[in-house]
Structure 1
Amino acid sequence: MPNIKVGVIGTGFIGPAHVEAIRRLGFVEVVAIAGSSLESARRAANHLSIPKAYGDYRDLLQDPEVQVVHNCTPNHLHYSVNLDIIKAGKHVMSEKPLAVSRTQTRTLLEQARQKGIVHGVCFNYRQYPMVQHLKSLVLSRALGDVRLIRGNYLQDWLSSAIDYNWRIDPKLGGPVRAVGDIGSHWMDTVQYITGQRITEVYADLVTVLPVRKKRKTKSDTFSHGSKVQEDEYEDIHIASEDYGTILFRFSGGATGVVTVSQITPGRKNHLLCEIDCSESSALWNQEQSEQLWIGHRNKPNEMVMADPALLSEQAQPFLHYPGGHNQGWPDGMKNLMAQFYGFIAKNGDPLSDSLPFASFDDGHANACILDAIVESSKKREWIRVSYDM
């Protein structure tokens, strides 16, 4: 089977992560990368040993060798770049959010369907072995009826007033920041696990740090804060939320709540999902991703480990090593790429209702939920999610 040829747009934190995950598959080759300038593209190409570098992503899209394109640009560029990828007739894997408004995501979904291309969104937490195992337990009703869906997603990289990043600016990051950036991962994960769609929301979004000090020199994502002199920064008034708590109602009758924060000292990437069912409960923590806690009322609780001998058939394709050989975030990314490119290699139908990865349908659904969350926080009332699929 000839290698599938790929181009990546974006040279920041997430672009190289995509490159690494793609290369681990063995049958997919990254042949080109595009940056915000030819200099940045060449620098990334040299560092990552990629043959071609483009200073304009549109030139990459004209490359006849490139069959699939990964959109790893900042949020405000996702719509225009994704639309150009679709028009070029290339399969596309987009970072989330798919776009910054539901109008844009609906357009992208419609265009991708019409073009008949394979379209994915990087909701990578679905692809962990223990998430797959938990999904199989829930759907087989081994835990009983789903009643409560609870959890949080906490980070600390924006906890200081001198922490600043482009995601904070709504013009670049979109109308919701913490909830859109990381809360969207939690919402996608729990809906995937339970098979229940979010139908109503009640949200409280808070800007804890209304003024931040923006460095006059560039600061990268997840960079460490440090003391600066007064003339090294400027005061920026903040409109996006640092924190949010959201109540949910789900299509299958469950209710739930999540707390999202990017200002929680000591929490690095703390995504936690807890599913309370009628017979047992289950808890999965991304920072201890090889473990799944199962709670019982009338017998000892369990801690299930990521061992091929212990997990469900559904989880088996997502396990690559024997028990005790921990898999983490990079392995979840690899699993996403394996599902996406395996589908392309088999000439899968992108209009199928059972894709093995998150698609533009899921990206648009997420935008619909975020739209309702913003409205709820403004109105201080329950808002029903309107899905216009």
Structure 2
Amino acid sequence: MEAGGASRPGRVRVGIVGGGFMARVHAAAARTAGAEVVALASSTPESAARAAASLRVARAHASVADLVDDPAVDVVHVCSPNASHAPVALAALRAGKHVVCEKPLATTSQEGEALVAAASAAGRVAAVPFVYRYHPMVREARARIARGDTGRVLSVRGSYLQDWLLESDDVDWRVDSAAGGPSRAFADIGSHLVDLLEFVLGDAGRLVRLSSTTTTVHRERGGRPVDTEDEAAVVFETVGGAIGTLFVSQVAPGRKNRLLIDVAGTVESLEFSQEEPETLWVGRRRGTEVLARDAAALSPDAARLSIVPAGHPLGYVDAFAAFVADVYDAVDGGAPEGLPTFDDGLRAIRVTEGVLAAAAGRRWVDVP
């Protein structure tokens, strides 16, 4: 196959844009998946050199443009601040690269639509790391709903709680809408929650109508005004007629990364918490059980992702590596089940825009 106009060897060669926490996660996942991380670029040549040294990447490019045009790079991983996602991903696609772009894919749906169109025109793999899809017990929940084990889905509750921005002196580039976009908490972690919910529920679980409210707890952080939300609460309806709620917070004391979905059907309920990813709670009118990850007892897609025997815990790092492995499988012509693409990234942007519009207008909003 070809990338960037030149035939590549069998091993996928990766270039990373960014030098922070997510760049480290992407680099580790790429290497676990058997790829070679060959280049890195950041906001300045100096920061690129520091990050490349820290991540053991041989080549630090002086600019993002240089990395995108590097013929030795097959796949560009975009791990830079949100406002740069769309222009960097678009440049990479136009250079013939495959792209993995962090969420939010873009800060507006118009940018997201342009990226979806560009990926289609280029015929390249274009993926967004909604990695919580890659917990085996998430796939098991999805399979149970698809088989009808749960019955007709009646209601859904989802939450994603963190505390890393609890205090007024907790600052980060994401707080500034110029770098992070018009939404912070919902775009940052609510996008994961919505994607996970719609992925597990299938087509009938897609949100069609919602109402919301948001709050900004600290109007200033580090002496600078804040124009993005700390929390968001959403009420919604789905295509299949279920109702549900979502709550997202980055100011919930003691909650480090509590992503939870709870689905109630006419036959059984399911609950998954990514802080306890090895189990799925199954509730029925008469009796409940905690289903532990064991490939021998799981659906085929869940078993595929169970890469170690039962009793050997899998977690976030494993889910991320499984996502990246599926990206590279697609690069090599495969069709892995459940790979989150730019279409899914655009979907998350549209829901986020609906949440902001509903909160601003104190009204119900239809989701495209």
TM range (shorter): over 0.9
2:307 is matched with which residue: 320, 338, 342?
320
The residue type paired with residue 304 of structure 1 is: L
Distance, in Å, in 1 between the alignment partners of 2:96 and 2:151 is: 45
Partner of 1:222: none
Cα-to-partner distance string for 1:213-263 (whole Å, 9 max, x where unaligned): x2xxxxxxxxxxxxxxxxxxxx22211111110011111111110110000
- For residue 310 of structure 1, report the CA deviation from its aligned partner: 2.1
Distance, in Å, in 1 between the alignment partners of 2:240 and 2:116 is: 25
Q: Does 1:66 align with 2:73?
A: yes
Partner of 1:236: 224
Distance, in Å, in 1 between the alignment partners of 2:96 and 2:332 is: 16
Confirm or deny: 8 A CA contact 1:11 1:44 kept in the other structure: yes
Return structure 1 stretches of 4+ with deviation > 2 angstroms: none
Partner of 2:128: 121
- For residue 358 of structure 1, report the CA deviation from its aligned partner: 0.8
Residue ranges of structure 2 left out of the alignment (5+ in a row): 1-8
Matches within 5 A, 1:147-186: 147-186=154-193
Partner of 2:340: 358
Q: Does 1:266 align with 2:259?
A: no
Confirm or deny: 8 A CA contact 2:282 2:289 kept in the other structure: yes
Residue ranges of structure 1 left out of the alignment (5+ in a row): 215-234, 349-353
Partner of 1:297: 285
Partner of 1:204: 213
Partner of 1:22: 30
Distance, in Å, in 1 between the alignment partners of 2:242 and 2:167 is: 36
Partner of 1:5: 13
**SS at 1:8's partner residue?**
strand
- For residue 306 of structure 1, report the CA deviation from its aligned partner: 1.3
Distance, in Å, in 1 between the alignment partners of 2:326 and 2:236 is: 29
The residue type paired with residue 328 of structure 2 is: Y
2:326 is matched with which residue: 339, 346, 362?
339
Query: What's the TM-score, normalizing by structure 1?
Result: 0.90
Q: Does 1:83 align with 2:90?
A: yes
Partner of 1:247: 235
The residue type paired with residue 210 of structure 1 is: R
The residue type paired with residue 21 of structure 1 is: A
**SS at 2:296's partner residue?**
coil
Confirm or deny: 8 A CA contact 1:340 1:356 kept in the other structure: no
The residue type paired with residue 139 of structure 1 is: A
Cα-to-partner distance string for 1:51-109 (whole Å, 9 max, x where unaligned): 21112011011211111100001001011111111111100000001100001101111
**SS at 1:287's partner residue?**
coil
Distance, in Å, in 2 between the alignment partners of 1:253 and 1:106 is: 27
Cα-to-partner distance string for 1:336-365 (whole Å, 9 max, x where unaligned): 0111111111265xxxxx863111111111
Confirm or deny: 8 A CA contact 2:296 2:303 kept in the other structure: no
**SS at 1:244's partner residue?**
strand
Q: Does 1:100 align with 2:107?
A: yes
Distance, in Å, in 1 between the alignment partners of 2:315 and 2:304 is: 15
Distance, in Å, in 1 between the alignment partners of 2:333 and 2:95 is: 21
**Same amino acid, percent of matched pairs:** 37
Distance, in Å, in 1 between the alignment partners of 2:357 and 2:54 is: 44
Query: What's the TM-score, normalizing by structure 2?
Result: 0.95
Cα-to-partner distance string for 1:105-155 (whole Å, 9 max, x where unaligned): 011111111111111011111111010111000100111111111021000
Q: Does 1:330 align with 2:330?
A: no
The residue type paired with residue 261 of structure 1 is: S
Partner of 2:3: none
Partner of 2:141: 134
**SS at 1:2's partner residue?**
coil
1:191 is matched with which residue: 177, 194, 198?
198
The residue type paired with residue 295 of structure 2 is: P
Q: Does 1:373 align with 2:355?
A: yes
**How many positions carry a matched residue from both structures?**
358
**SS at 2:254's partner residue?**
coil
Distance, in Å, in 1 between the alignment partners of 2:187 and 2:18 is: 20
**SS at 1:156's partner residue?**
coil
Cα-to-partner distance string for 1:285-324 (whole Å, 9 max, x where unaligned): 01111111001112x2110111212211121111111111
**SS at 2:213's partner residue?**
strand
